[in-house]
A and B are shown apart, each in its own frame.
Chain A
Amino acid sequence: MRRALWIVAALIALALPFLVSKSFYLQIAASAYITAIAVYGLNVILGYTGLLSLGHAAFFGIGAYGVALLETRASWPFWPALVAACAASVLLGFLVGIVSLRTRGHYFAIFTAAVGVMISIVLTNWQDLTGGNIGIVNIPPPPAIGPLSFEGDTAKYYLVVAALAFAIALTALVRRSLFGRTLIAIAGNEDLARATGIDVARAKLTAFMLSTFLAGLAGGMFATYIGNLDPGSSGLDITFEQLLYLVIGGLGTIAGPLIGTLVLVGASQLLQGVEQYRFLIFGPLLVVLVIFFPHGITGAFNRLMAARPRSHRRTTATPETEAAVS
């Protein structure tokens, strides 16, 4: 059932360029996918490991500016620029993590928020390098790989789809692995994890680096897809937007980041005329969801599936089991 839904989703994503009339809609979909990649990163650190990173959009910014600067200033081709930008994001994640993950409780959230704000300030004010508030324009698209060209809207759209599929596969593989189950255990009960001999600090650091990698990847895709860049893409408000997508989609679930992002980006499009008031709707929606569906839309769906009688089920699975294995 679940596999069938994923296949349907993949087919729709692949067929979308032939279904929509205007490239405008294709661009909205691709931007949403790029955001979803970043939200998958947030899911690793918050959904799996239980750590609130408020600097997530800043790592997105490192990836985006890394690609943009290397392409426009150093004339690097896109692919090595993307690798370098992701590496820079992970390296910064390593440095931030090694300092902030020694602390417990809310300090990690506060520390990452501070780092996020600092990066945002640097991107805005280091005008010689980043172009300040105007940002960077005319970022070239990726060069062709053999016969594969990434010039047109459709080609770039498929590139983003591939990156999203990569992010989903990555986080799905982690979730069911021994390492991933260790992260979920740390989120559930850190003291017991320690008492069980798990090097909690090291596992957290690895999870944080994976989350910054996905943020950097999303940023790099953003730079090359949109073609221009300004510091607004990396602010604290963007982190909170991504958090909202994750919580509404379903913390710790595989489908949650994608569903949350698509639903809310779609809703934002519908509310275009009243965009500055959209949080008046999203805010209460979030409150209702957290109270009634703590595992978001995906959790609610799993609950529904588990409530249906199915004869071939081996064990007496509870809704929680479903949430735990999905």
Chain B
Amino acid sequence: MMLLEVCDVSKHFGGLVAVDSVSFGVPAGHIKAIIGPNGAGKSTCFNLISGYYPASSGKLTFAGQDITHLPMHAIARLGIARTFQTTCLFSRQTVLDNAIVGYRMHTRSNLFDALTRSPRERREERESRERAFEALRFAGIERLADRVAGSIPQEAQKRLAIAIAIASQPKLILLDEPVAGVTAEETAAHAELIRTMARTGYTICLVEHKMNMVMGLADSIVVLHHGKKIAEGTPAEVSADPAVLEAYLGVLAHA
């Protein structure tokens, strides 16, 4: 069954067509990679799925529900979490609080609970801490819980971005260049983390430039070029596809 279906989706920015009638599906439990040269429309694709931009046309379906016109937080509540290309955290708060805020949509304590320290506030506070620690443990950064997010190393920040996503208990996680600017060793460790996420039952959609990692990780790959889908298939199929080679080598030849 397809967890996410992207059906004939386009996005125009004025005269620029960033995403042009793209269709693909992400089956539950899969790791799907979206690749393509710079400016191919990969991140825009993520921004459309997560509701950051509304699609100009087409339809997005998640777990059987039409999400095309939902606002970002409503889509997140249905179970789509995402990380951003530039590492994106609540950098002035502690690592633990970052994960607690990640779990926030599952708690309902409001201003009045805060002011009265109601039983619900205290129960949800305990519950949030437990879930947050689970997410931090999963991402391997539990020992940094009390540090301020902005002060931890870059690689740990990338793990925290994933921990925030996991704390929200999603079905689908969109990872936008999770290992950009990370050393080779750390990239391998991140690949392992992503594999563990898939084994745990999360469906993953990933945009990444590091081809070794993508080829070793993805169950299937969508290739975008100038906003259009030019190929889709297993890593082996895609890497043998003449259109893909031309897109990449063509770019290299002009660069």
Binding site for B on A (CB under 8 A): 170, 173-174, 177-182, 184-185, 188-189, 191-200, 206, 210, 314-318, 320-321, 324-325
Contacts and interface: CB of A to CB of B under 8 A. Distances in A.
Contact of B111 (A181, A184, A188, A210): A210
A188 B93 contact: yes
A20 to B, nearest CB: 33
Given A188-B90, A188-B92, A197 B107 contact: no
Given A179-B113, A321-B148, A192 B164 contact: yes
Query: Do most interface residues of chain A lie in helix, strand or loop, or is the interface mixed?
Result: helix
A198 B73 contact: yes
B111 A197 contact: no
Interface of B: 50, 52, 71-73, 76-77, 81-82, 84, 88-94, 97-98, 100-102, 104-105, 107, 109-111, 113-115, 117, 121, 124-125, 128, 146-148, 150-151, 164, 168
A324 B115 CA distance: 19
A317 B110 contact: no
B160 to A, nearest CB: 11
Contact of B91 (A182, A188, A193): A188
Contacts of B109: 177-179
Give 8 closest A-B pairs by Cβ, nearest first: A177-B114, A197-B105, A197-B76, A320-B148, A315-B146, A188-B90, A194-B72, A185-B101
A117 B91 CA distance: 35
Please indicate which of the listed interface residues A185, A191, A317 has the most CB atoms of chain B within 10 Å of its own CB. A185
A191 B50 CA distance: 11
A181 B76 contact: no
B148 A324 contact: yes
A185 B148 contact: no
B148 A174 contact: no
Given A173-B115, A178-B104, A194-B76, 15 more contacts: A178-B100, A178-B124, A179-B114, A184-B93, A189-B89, A191-B52, A193-B101, A196-B164, A197-B77, A198-B101, A318-B151, A320-B92, A320-B148, A320-B151, A321-B146
Contact of B114 (A178, A189, A316): A178
